[in-house]
Structure 1
Amino acid sequence: MNAFTPLDFGVLLVYLTGVTAWGAWLGRGQTGGQDYFLGNRELPWIAVMLSIVATETSTLTFLSIPGVSYLGTLGFLQLTFGYLAGRVVVSMFLLPAYYRGELSTAYALLEERFGQGARRFASAVFMVTRLLADSVRLFASAIPLALVTGWDYPVSIAVIGAVTLVYTYFGGIKAVVWVDAVQMGLYLLGAVVAIAALQVLTPDGWTGILSSAGEAGKLDVLDWSLDFSLAYTVWAGVLGGAVFTMASHGTDQLLVQRLLTCRDVEASKKALVGSGVVVMGQFLLFLVVGLGLWVYYEGRAFDTTDEIFARFIVEELRPGISGLIVAGVFAAAMSSLSSSINSLASASAYDFWAPWAGAEDDEARTLRAGKVFTLVWATLLVGGAILFIQLSEGNTAVEVALAIASVVYGGLLGTFILAIRSQRADQRSAIVGMIAGISVVAAIWWFARASVAWPWFVPIGTAVTMAVGWALGRGSTAGPGSTLPESDRTHTSPSP
C-alpha cells in the first residue's frame, strides 16, 4: 500500500504552478469586456468543444462514474444518447437566435423578446443556482482531494479556489477555455493510466475483467423499463437526458458563454455537437475503469462510491503516477470552478451592472467591473464551499444544492422556448410560468423524488412553464428591450 509521496506532491505542485502561469499569460492584451468574457469571438471550435466537456465534468464525475459501474452496469451510457440529441436541437434552434443578435449573455435573448425584467429575473435565477450548486460542488471536490493528499477540507478548497482565481482573473475566458482544454486531456490521461495499471494488477488483465463483468451482467447498456423511478433507462436517458441538455447547453450562461466565443454559428454548432460525441467516449472510459476496479477489489463494499477510485489512486499506484492522476482530479475541479466564476461575472456585468451604471458602450469600464465581479464571485463560491463543511452532517443540505440545477432548468428552458416559438406569451406570463415550473419541480423533488427520477425533472418543469406562460399570455411580438444596448452585442463581425 502506497501513500501520497513527496514525488507526488512535486508533480502536483509543478502542474498547479504551470497552469496558473500559463492561464494568466493568456490574458495579455485585453482591452474590454468583449475580450474578457467572449474572447472577441475568435476562439477555435475544437478548443471550445473541449472546454464544454471540461466544464460539465467535475471532480465528482472523475471519481463517481467509476463507482456507478462498480455497483451496477454500463446503463449510465443511456443518458449520453439524450445528451447528444439535446445538443443537436440546441444547435438547430437556439444557437442561430443567439448569433443573429450577437448577444453577450444567454439572457439578453429574453430582453429582445420580452423586456429587461425577464432578462434580469432569469439571470438572477442563474446566479442563485450557480452559487449554491457550485459551492457544494467545490466542497464535494475537496472530499476526495482531502482523502488523497491528507489536507483538511478548508485547505483543499482554498488551494483549488486560489489557483483557479489567479488564471481566471488575469486570463478571462481565453484562459478558461484553453486551460480547460489542456486539463481535460490530463484527466482523460489519468483514466487511461488507471486502465493500464489494472491490466497489470489483475490476474488475467482486461480479458479477465470483461469476461467476469459479462458473466455478472455488468456490460448491459439498455434498460427498456417504463418505471419512472429509475434514472438509467432508455426513456429517461433519451427523453430526459435530451431535455436536460437543451436546458443546460441552451439556457445556462455557464455553457452558453463558451458557445458565444466561436467565430460564427457554424463553428459553434461544431463545438456543441462534437462535445456530445466526446462526452460519450469520456463516460465510457470512466465506466470501464469502474469495471476494472470491481474485479480488482472483488466487489468489496466501500463507504461511498467516490472512495473507490480515490483509494485505488493513492494506495495502489506508483509514486509519481498518483501525483499525475491527482493533478487530473484538481483539473476537473478547476475547470468547473473557473467556468462558474467567469460566467457569473459575465452575467453580473452585462445583465445588471452595465445598464445600471450607464456603461453599455464603455468596454474599458466593463472590463474593470468584470474583474471586480470575478473576485467577488470567487470569494462567495469558496466561502459557500467552506460553509457547507459545517452543514454536511447528514446529506440533506448537499443533496438539496446539487438538485438545484435539475429543479430550475425546466423553468429556464420553458421560458426560452416561449421566447422563440410563441407570439402569445408576454413578459408577465413568461416570468409567472418560470416561477410555476420551478415550483412544481421543487415540490416533486421534496415530496415525490422516490417515485420520479431526476432525469424527468426538466421535462416536467419545461412543460409546466410553457403551459402557464401560454395560458396567461396576452400576445406580444417584442418586449421593450427589443433594441438591445450596444454592450449586449459584440463589436466584431463573425469571421467567415
Structure 2
Amino acid sequence: MSNLDWAVLVCTLLFIVVYGIYRSRGTENIQGYLLGNQSMPWYSVCLSVMATQASAITFLSAPGLGYSSGMSFVQFYLGLPLAMIVLCVTFVPIFHRLKVYTAYEYLEQRFDLNTRALTAFLFLIQRGLSTGITIYAPSIILSIILNINPTFTTIFIGSIVVLYTVYGGTRAVSYTQMLQMAIIFSGLFAAGVIVVQLLPSSVGFGKAISIAGKMGRTEAINFNFDWDNPYTLWSGLIGGFFLQLSYFGTDQSQVGRYLTGSSVGQSRMGLLMNGIVKIPMQFLILLIGVLVFTFYQYTKPPVFFNRFELNKLENSAYAPQLNSIKAEHQQAFQAKQQELDKLGLAIDQGDEQRIDAQRTLLLAADVKEKEVRKKTTDLMLKNDANADINDNNYIFLSFVTEYLPKGLIGLLIAIIFLASMGSTASALNSLASTSVIDIYKRLIKKDGSDKQYLKASRWLTFFWGFVCILMALYASKIGNLIEAVNVLGSYIYGTILGVFLVAFYLKKVNGRAVFIAAIMAEITVCICGYLQVVAYLWLNVIGCLLVIFLSLLMQALLKKPDHLPEKSL
C-alpha cells in the first residue's frame, strides 16, 4: 500500500477507537456497561444490529462467494424480514418488560436454573468459536499487506478490539458501530462504481452482468426444492427464518444490541429497519463480487489469490514447476479471452444461437483455467501439507490492493477492519454479559456489589478476548469464512430457539421436560450435521421442531398422575 493508504487506514481506525472510548466515559455500573443504560435511539439500534452481523467476514467472503458461485447466497437472508416481525411481536416486549440483561434470564423464570445454564452454555460455545473466525478475517488483510504470517496479525487485531471493549462496554460498541456502518456504506458504493469503470470501454454495467449471467453467476433465486442445496428459495425462507429468528431472538450478541433501545418502540423500529435494509445490502455486496468476476475475465487473475501462500511456493524448491504452471495459466487465459470476445460480439448483435454456442465454448475454456489453478494448489500441498489452498476469502482483497486508486485502498481495508471490530466487540460484550449474569452472578457470587460485577464484566471481556484470539489462530483451515460461521450457528441456534418457543407458547411444559428435550435435540442435530444428512440451513428447523416435539413427549411421560395410589401395608 502507498503512504496515503496507510495514513487513511491508521487515522480511520484510531479515530473509531478514540471516539468509542470518549463516548463511553463515565460507565460506572453494570447496566451502563452491558446495556448502555438502555438509552439508544432506533437508528443506533438498527446500525448496531447490522454492524454486529456484518463482520469483516461479510466484506471478505461474500464478494468471494459472488465471484465463485454467484448471487445464490442472497437467498440465505430471505427469512430475515419475517423473523424481524415475529421478534418485534413476541421477544422484544417480553425482554423489555422483564428488564433482563440477557435473554437466558427469562428461561430461569419460566423453567429452572438448569435450562438457563444449558442455553447460556450453548451460546458461549457457539459465539466463542464464531468470534474467533471473525477476528481471523481482518488478520488476513494485514498478513497480505505486510507479507507476514497471519498468526501475528491475528494477535494484533484481537488486542485492539479487546482494548476498547474492555474499557467502554456496550456504549463503546454502539457508538462506534454507527460510524462504522456509515463509512462501510460509502466505501462499498465507491468500490462498486470503480469496478465498472475499470472494465474495458466496450463493456458497460449491463454487458458485464450479462456475461456473468452466461457463466452462471447471476441466478439469485432458485425455486427448486432440494434438501442438499443450502441456497434455494425454500431453504432461505424456511431454514433461514429459523436461523435468523434464533440468531436475533436468542443470541446475546444481538439481544444485547436491541435491549439498549430506549423503549420497546425504539427496539422494534431498529429491528424492522434491519430487516428491510439487510437484503439489499447483501445483494449489492454479492453483486460487487460478480462484477469483480467479470473484471477478471478481461484482466488476467493471479494463478492463486492468497499472496502469502503463493510467495512460499515461489521461494521453494518447486519454483520451476510453478513457473511452468504460470505459463500454462497464461495460455489458458488467452484462449478463454478469445471465446469471451466472441461471446461479447454475439451479445452486442443479439444473436441468441451464437450466444448459446459461444457460452458453451467459454465455459469449457473456464474449466481448463480452473484445472491449471488446481495444479497450483496440488503443488502447494506437496511443498507444505498444511498450506491453506482455499483462496476464496482473498479474491476481493486481491482486487482492492491491486487495482483501486490510492487512498480508497486504505479506506476499504479500514472498512473491513471496522466491520470486524464492530462485530467482534459486540460478541465479546455478549460473552461477558452472559458469563457474568447467567453464570458468575447466578452460580458463583450471588450477593456481590454492583462494582464487583462491573469489574467481573471487564475481566471476563478480557478473558473471552483471549479465548477468541486462540480460536482465531485455527480459523485458516475452515474454508469460506461466511459459510463456516453460519454452519456453526446452525448446529446450535435451532435448539436454543426451540427452548424459547416452548417457553413462550407451551405453558404446560416444565423445565425438566424441556431440558431433556434440548439435550436430545442437540445430539440429533450434531449427528445430522456430521453425516451431512441435509443442507446446513435445515439443521435449524430440525433442532427447533425436535425440541418442541420432544418437550411435549417428555412432559407427557414425566407427568405425575393426579392421585397417587395408596401404599399397601
TM over 0.5: yes
Contact residue 24 and residue 166 of structure 1 kept, 8 A: no
Aligned counterparts of 2:481 and 2:39: Cα–Cα separation in 1:
41
Report the equivalent of 2:396.
309
CA deviations 1:362-388 (Å, max 9, x no partner) are: 3222212111111111111112222x1
Q: Specify the alignment match of 1:473 in structure 2.
A: 555
The answer for the alignment partner of 1:417 in structure 2 is: 501
- TM superposition shift of 1:18: 1.3
User: Which of residues 61, 65, 68 is equivalent to 1:71?
Assistant: 68
Where 1:271 maps in the other structure, the secondary structure is helix
The Cα offsets for residues 37-62 of structure 1, whole Å up to 9 and x where unpaired, read as: 00111011111111111111122211
Select the residue among 413, 417, 426 that pairs with 1:339: 426
Residue 61 of structure 1: aligned partner: 58
Q: Deviations over 1:416-449 (max 9, x none)?
A: 01111112321111111111221111111111x2
Which 5+ residue runs of structure 2 have no aligned equivalent?
302-369, 374-389, 559-569
**1:10 corresponding residue in structure 2:** 7
> In structure 1, what is the Cα distance between the partners aligned to 2:491 and 2:214?
38
Residues 1:401 and 1:248: Cα distance change in structure 2 (over 3 Å): closer
In structure 2, the partner of 1:329 is 416
Q: Which stretch of structure 1 is more off in the superposition, 398-407 or 462-471?
A: 398-407
| CA separation of 1:304 and 1:104: change in aligned 2, threshold 3 A | same
> Normalized against structure 2, the TM-score is what?
0.78
Distance 1:222 1:467 in 2: 32
Letter in 2 for 1:464: L
Separation (CA, whole Å) in 1 of partners of 2:419 and 2:481: 23
2:176 corresponds to 1:179: yes
The residue that corresponds to 1:484 in the other structure is: none
Give me the identity figure in percent: 29
- TM-score of the aligned structures, taking structure 1 as reference length: 0.89
**Alpha-carbon distance between aligned partners in 1 of 2:289 and 2:135, rounded to the nearest angstrom:** 23
Are 1:349 and 1:370, in contact at CA under 8 Å, matched by a contact in 2? yes
Q: Does 1:91 align with 2:88?
A: yes
Question: Which residues of structure 1 form unaligned runs of 5+?
Answer: 477-496
Q: Matched residues in 1 for 2:484 and 2:555: separation?
A: 32
Q: Tell me the C-alpha RMSD between the 2 structures.
A: 2.4
One-letter code aligned to 1:112: Q
1:127 aligns with 124
Indicate whether 1:375 and 2:457 are aligned: no
Matched, 1:36 2:33: yes
* Residue 225 of structure 1: aligned partner: 224
Q: CA deviation at 1:247?
A: 0.4
Matches of 2:472 and 2:68, distance apart in 1 = 28
CA gap of 1:84–1:475, structure 2 versus 1, over 3 A, is farther
Rate the CA distance shift 1:153–1:399 in 2: closer, same or farther, 3 A: same
Q: CA deviation at 1:475?
A: 10
The question of whether the paired residues in 2 share the 8 Å contact of 1:198 and 1:296 is answered with yes
Q: Which moved more, 1:21-30 or 1:413-422?
A: 21-30
1:101 and 2:98 matched = yes
Aligned length: 469
After TM superposition, give the deviation of residue 105 of structure 1 in Å.
Answer: 0.5
CA distance in 1, matches of 2:442, 2:65: 46
Q: Does the CA contact (< 8 Å) of 1:52 and 1:255 recur in 2? A: yes
The answer to whether the Cα contact below 8 Å between 2:5 and 2:409 also exists between their aligned partners in 1 is: yes
1:406: Cα distance to partner? 0.8
Task: Point out the more displaced range, 77-86 or 232-241.
Answer: 77-86
**Alpha-carbon distance in structure 2 between the residues aligned to 1:256 and 1:349:** 16
For residues 365 and 331 of structure 1, what CA distance do their matches in structure 2 show? 31
Whole-angstrom CA distance in 2 between matches of 1:18 and 1:11: 10
What are the residue-to-residue correspondences of 1:173-212 with 2, within 5 Å?
173-203=170-200, 204-212=203-211
Partners of 2:187 and 2:411 within 8 A in 1: yes
Which residue is 1:430 aligned to? 514
Q: Are the structure 2 counterparts of residues 151 and 319 from structure 1 closer, same or farther at C-alpha, using a change threshold of 3 Å?
A: farther
Shift of 1:342: 0.5
Separation of aligned partners in 2, 1:73 and 1:370: 43
Matched, 1:268 2:267: yes
43, 47, 53: which one aligns with 1:50: 47
**Counterpart AA for 1:193:** A
Q: 1:259: which partner in 2? A: 258
Contact residue 392 and residue 480 of structure 2 kept, 8 A: no
Q: Counterpart of 1:239?
A: 238
**Aligned equivalents of 1:394 and 1:425: distance in 2?**
39
Q: Distance in 1 between matches of 2:134 and 2:539?
A: 20
Verify: 1:456 aligned to 2:538, yes or no.
Answer: yes
Please say which of residues 138-147 and 325-334 is displaced more in the overlay. 138-147
Matches of 2:213 and 2:224, distance apart in 1: 21
The offset of 1:147, in angstroms, is 2.0
Q: CA deviation at 1:360?
A: 5.5
Return the offset for 1:358.
4.6
SS of residue in 2 equivalent to 1:75: helix
State the 1:407 CA deviation. 0.3
* Closer, same or farther: CA 158–393 of 1 in aligned 2, 3 Å: closer
Pair 1:404-2:488 in alignment: yes
2:63–2:289 Cα contact (<8 Å) kept: yes
How far apart, CA to CA, are the structure 1 residues paired with 2:481 and 2:401? 29
Q: Secondary structure at the match of 2:229?
A: coil
Give the structure 1 partner of residue 524 of structure 2. Answer: 440
Letter in 2 for 1:273: L
Structure of greater Rg: 2
